[in-house]
A and B are shown apart, each in its own frame.
Chain A
Amino acid sequence: MGYIFSIISLTPSIHTTPLAGFCLNRYGNILLSLKMNISLKRDILYAVIIALIASLAGIGTDIARTPILAALAEREVIHPTQYNAYKGVDLIDNWSHAGWPRVKESEDNPEGKRIKWIEYSQLMELNKTGEIRFIDARVVKEYDAGHIPGAIPWPFNEFLEYLKNYQDEISFDTPVVVYCEGGTCDQSISLSENLQIVGYTDIYLYHGGFDEWKNMGMPVEKGEYE
Chain B
Amino acid sequence: MIPRAPDAGQTPARSRINWFTVAYHFCRILIGLLFIVASYDKILMPWNFGRAIYVYKMLPGYLISPMAASMPWVELVAGILLVFNRFTRPAAMIIGGLNIVFMVAIATVIARGMDIDCGCGLDVGPLALIVGTQADGWALVRDLILLGIAAIIYFGYKPRRG
Interface residues in A23-70 by Cβ distance below 8 A to B read 24-26, 28-30, 33-34, 39, 43-44, 46-47, 50-51, 53-59, 61-62
B85 interface residue (CB < 8 Å to A):
no
Binds B, one of A93-101, A108-116, A125-133, A165-173: A93-101
Interface size class of A (residues with CB under 8 A): 35 or more
A92 to B47, CA, bound (A): 10
Q: A34-B155, A55-B70, A99-B62 are in contact. Are A25 and B50 (CB under 8 A)?
A: no
> In the complex, what residues of A have CB within 8 A of residue B28's CB?
none
A29-B158 contact given A58-B73, A92-B47, A100-B50, CB 8 Å threshold: yes
Q: From DSSP, what is the main secondary structure of chain B's interface residues?
A: helix
Q: Which of B1, B50, B70 contacts A59 (CB 8 A)?
A: B70
Chain B proximity of A58: nearest CB distance (Å): 3
- Quote the shortest CB–CB distance from A115 to chain B (angstroms): 12
Q: Which residues of A contact B (CB under 8 A)?
A: 1-2, 5-6, 9, 14-15, 18, 21-22, 24-26, 28-30, 33-34, 39, 43-44, 46-47, 50-51, 53-59, 61-62, 89, 92, 95-97, 99-102, 183-184, 186, 207, 211, 215
**What are the 7 closest A-B residue pairs judged by CB atoms, nearest first?**
A58-B73, A55-B70, A46-B90, A62-B69, A47-B90, A54-B77, A58-B70
